[in-house]
Chains A and B, each alone.
Chain A
Amino acid sequence: MTPQKNNPLTQKIRPAPFVTIFIFLVLGIIGITLEEPSRVLEQAKQICLSCIGIG
Chain B
Amino acid sequence: MTVKTFKTWYLVHKWTSLICTAFLLMLCITGLPLIFHHEIEHLLGDTPEVAEMPAGTPIVPLDRLVAAAQQQRPGEQVMFMSWDDEEPELAWITTGPDMKANENLHFLAFDNRTGEVLKLISQNELSFMRIMFQLHVDLFAGLPGKLFLGFMGLLFVVAIVTGIAVYGPLMRKLDFGTVRKQRSARVKWLDLHNMLGIVTVVWALVVGGTGVINTWADLIIKYWQFDQLASMTAPYVGQPMPATLGSLEAAMATARKAAPDMDPAFVAFPGGNFSSPHHYAFFMRGDAPLTARLLKPVLVDAQTAALTDTRDMPWYVTALLVSQPLHFGDYGGMPLKVIWALFDIVTIVVLGSGLYLWLKRRRNPIEQRIRELEQDAGAPLGLAARSSL
Do A and B associate with each other? no
Residues of chain A having any CB pair with chain B under 8 Å: none
